[in-house]
Structure 1
């Protein structure tokens, strides 16, 4: 197992040749970098990782002060690119982060420079309190404009049990109670795998008065608990893989962006209260047989969004098509819609209810894919995946309507089959001002995905095939409409 390290601490010293030239101060006039203006020099140094930025201090007396003047500090433990490679030695990993944190922050004792951005990623556990206290001291002594914590747990989501999450929750509560001053300037906070008490999340939001971004990944307050979120400054909220029965966005006057995915609720998992600035909503779920089909008119309530993303993970469609009269309020400002990971088993006509209910819609994106997590039928029954057609319950009859705002239609996973051709023709008929149709091939799958072995690929790649698609869509009858093929 590789030793844990702060990002960049093991990189080679790219400055060693310059350092040799700088042994003699008289060589400064030959070093063009050192003669640069201070603000430009800082801009260059801040583009380096932590280790290389610190190494520049050996180049000369002038460069020695550069690390104490950095306005952007990013210190990360290990690598988040592959969470399976997390270290078992949390103490050693955090010690590395602590060393880098102290080296950069405690050396600034006499520096008048403001830290505009301070971002730390570390493990929850042994050593995290010392990191928090170091940050708290810095915040007390210096101006810190923007601070961010990404707090990891030793076990990632797939390996953390309920007992693990409960233990992590207790650790985090102790961490917050020990050094609350480290959180008072936080603008961004990312937490994972925590089972907290009912009062803990409201307490976190109360301590983090300047919080603008919050991500809760696999966090809850007990199975099917209720969470009410109130914060005067929160702008972005991400809740992923939660076991909340419902999340109430009670009072979030600055909230603009919401990401919500993978819930266990038998009912509507979200409730929108006072969210006057909310414009972007992304909701995704791997719907099982017992998941309720949601009505957007009821789910979104009085929230009028302009950008809506719905993800179905190639499983059961969990949205119920509705009449445009019911959608008139929640879809009144809708401009962009992305319906992602629709199973190839599904018909696409049901998606037209969105177009009919959103008169101001400008762009509609459809993504079709069959990348299932589980293919084995016995395993699917064991995990309660739906045995019915994945678009069961989406029957919808469109009344005659004409759409005047839609200008772009994008279809990912396009195949030159009747279902896709008829869908594109229907949109072309009702969207009288449609300007561009983009036909993309199916999204790339992971190597372990069996999709490519189950179905053929009929994406139009050759010139002859593209001409055939153009002719079948009667493109000559739409001289102002452009058809784009993308690979």
Structure 2
């Protein structure tokens, strides 16, 4: 009979065997860096040693949206679509949304209170804060902002008030707690983002502020608020205006800023009066008319034009064409240019530009309707003698190509010795596209690369850089079409052009 082996009792892990605390500090910091702020702070309950490490995180993201129940966002989506149609049910949903906002914000404030009552010895560079504005004026939020800027040394601050439901009367707009900051503390901020709340009253105190982002400013905002930000922030280099409204319809920009972004704003006119240092400009909105004064250093530009009409009219609207023409003529140093045409009706002119774009190297014409005559882009090509890369994204249109713009200066010939690359997405071998391709092959004597893609998209790398990406599906090219394109290339001055079809 086999002998029974006596089992030894397992050694109970003692309290002092804290294996999580025994991990190397570099590994703990690596783990914390991969977590969001809420999860990183929660790791304090795992081990004694971890409890002191989250305060060393360089950035905190404290957002009330992270603790909202999933049903809340679903309800918001329904109400934005004006659903349900039944008034009684809609009132019930609005009441539930308002109750959820109040209870969630209460829990959010309790969490911030506990967070502030802990070890305050923190060294934080960035704080991003999102919350609902409540009836108490956000006293806990005010305290958090004051501690972050005054004690922690935050330099990059984002304060966004999340829009609440309309179940109750709206509270007064949240005001940035300037008075809670002690003298000199506001000078620590280098970047400030304000969303759906009022700007600080004395912006001249923020003498180190280099970037200002204003989002969702209410329609009651006086135009002087925006102009005051430009005049009082002497070190300001970057200004972004996103979904901003104003009681007046004209904004005059006169500053030393280097970057200006206007997106989805309701200004009728933005006058760039005197911007001697402006190098980066993006205007992506459907109601803004740009009036250009002095922009002598502009190099990177992104323009999106939108017209809310249904039928394409020929000839094109002269006012809009003059606006684009005048802008391009006032930007002699431009190196990168993105032009997008969106909306049910797009316009463009075919006249020569007033002034040449002597420094333009890269040009993207995006969302060009397929019913247009693509050779319109020769207008820009002829005005840019140094252009090296022309990228065109042709969007699908239900209208036949014969409804396109008829280019009025086809007979003009010009050599483009610096043009090295043409990439066209949405190439379909139509008559007008082939005529434009023939012109490129003939006139661009240094052409090295010709990429023609039936399917693809533009991948934007920020506002002023992009990549042309081919579609995922394989596009079959007939042998007859391939031979036709190769014969076209051989007929030009450079028969060794690389041809890529996709």
TM-score by length of structure 1 reads 0.71
408, 415, 438: which is aligned to 1:425?
438
Using the TM superposition, give the Cα deviation of residue 476 of structure 1 relative to its aligned residue in structure 2, in angstroms.
7.8
Structure 1 residue aligned with 2:381: 355
Q: CA RMSD in A?
A: 4.1
138, 148, 154: which is aligned to 2:148?
138
2: CA distance between counterparts of 1:22 and 1:183? 51
For the pair shown, which has the larger CA radius of gyration, 1 or 2?
2
Using the TM superposition, give the Cα deviation of residue 348 of structure 1 relative to its aligned residue in structure 2, in angstroms.
1.1
1:59-74 maps to which residues of 2 (within 5 A)? 59-74=46-61
2:200 is aligned with 1:192? no
Structure 2 residue aligned with 1:11: none
Using the TM superposition, give the Cα deviation of residue 406 of structure 1 relative to its aligned residue in structure 2, in angstroms.
1.6
Give secondary structure in 2 for the equivalent of 1:216. Answer: strand
Count of paired positions: 413
Structure 1 residue aligned with 2:355: 327
2: CA distance between counterparts of 1:403 and 1:214? 37
Structure 1 residue aligned with 2:205: none
Q: Unpaired segments of 5 or more residues in structure 2?
A: 1-11, 67-72, 81-93, 193-210, 310-316, 459-472
Using the TM superposition, give the Cα deviation of residue 106 of structure 1 relative to its aligned residue in structure 2, in angstroms.
5.9
2: CA distance between counterparts of 1:54 and 1:264? 44
Change (3 A) 1:471 1:312: same
Structure 2 residue aligned with 1:338: 364
Output one character per residue of 1:210-253: Cα deviation in whole Å (capped at 9) or x when no partner: 65544333323236x11023454x44432223332311234555
Using the TM superposition, give the Cα deviation of residue 310 of structure 1 relative to its aligned residue in structure 2, in angstroms.
1.1
1: CA distance between counterparts of 2:390 and 2:265? 29
Give secondary structure in 1 for the equivalent of 2:125. Answer: strand
Give secondary structure in 2 for the equivalent of 1:368. Answer: strand
1:163-312 maps to which residues of 2 (within 5 A)? 171-172=172-173, 174-176=174-176, 185=189, 186=192, 187-192=211-216, 194-195=218-219, 196-205=221-230, 213-222=238-247, 225-232=249-256, 234-252=257-275, 255-264=278-287, 269-288=289-308, 292-295=319-322, 296-300=324-328, 302-303=330-331, 304-312=333-341
Q: Does 1 or 2 have the higher relative contact order (CA < 8 Å, sep 6+)?
A: 1
2: CA distance between counterparts of 1:344 and 1:42? 53
- Does the CA-based 8 Å contact 1:257-1:281 persist in structure 2? yes
Using the TM superposition, give the Cα deviation of residue 44 of structure 1 relative to its aligned residue in structure 2, in angstroms.
3.9
1: CA distance between counterparts of 2:320 and 2:404? 12
Structure 2 residue aligned with 1:119: 128
1: CA distance between counterparts of 2:180 and 2:15? 47
144, 153, 156: which is aligned to 2:163?
153
- Does the CA-based 8 Å contact 1:180-1:207 persist in structure 2? no
Change (3 A) 1:427 1:250: same
2:492 is aligned with 1:473? no
2:497 is aligned with 1:485? no
2: CA distance between counterparts of 1:485 and 1:127? 63
Q: Unpaired segments of 5 or more residues in structure 1?
A: 1-20, 161-166, 376-387, 446-457
Change (3 A) 1:257 1:465: farther
- Does the CA-based 8 Å contact 2:253-2:271 persist in structure 1? yes
Change (3 A) 1:411 1:229: same
Output one character per residue of 1:451-487: Cα deviation in whole Å (capped at 9) or x when no partner: xxxxxxx99524636634534534586443112234x
Change (3 A) 1:77 1:432: farther
Using the TM superposition, give the Cα deviation of residue 440 of structure 1 relative to its aligned residue in structure 2, in angstroms.
2.5
Change (3 A) 1:239 1:401: same
Using the TM superposition, give the Cα deviation of residue 142 of structure 1 relative to its aligned residue in structure 2, in angstroms.
2.5
1: CA distance between counterparts of 2:414 and 2:320? 25
- Does the CA-based 8 Å contact 2:252-2:271 persist in structure 1? yes
Using the TM superposition, give the Cα deviation of residue 346 of structure 1 relative to its aligned residue in structure 2, in angstroms.
0.7
1: CA distance between counterparts of 2:384 and 2:21? 62
Output one character per residue of 1:28-63: Cα deviation in whole Å (capped at 9) or x when no partner: 4x877x3134xx643541231122111221232221
- Does the CA-based 8 Å contact 2:125-2:155 persist in structure 1? yes
Using the TM superposition, give the Cα deviation of residue 149 of structure 1 relative to its aligned residue in structure 2, in angstroms.
3.7
- Does the CA-based 8 Å contact 1:365-1:411 persist in structure 2? yes
Structure 2 residue aligned with 1:461: 476
Change (3 A) 1:213 1:101: farther
2: CA distance between counterparts of 1:227 and 1:410? 38
Structure 2 residue aligned with 1:26: 17
Using the TM superposition, give the Cα deviation of residue 391 of structure 1 relative to its aligned residue in structure 2, in angstroms.
3.4
Give secondary structure in 2 for the equivalent of 1:78. Answer: helix
Using the TM superposition, give the Cα deviation of residue 437 of structure 1 relative to its aligned residue in structure 2, in angstroms.
1.7
2:402 is aligned with 1:391? no
- Does the CA-based 8 Å contact 1:315-1:390 persist in structure 2? no
2: CA distance between counterparts of 1:300 and 1:135? 43
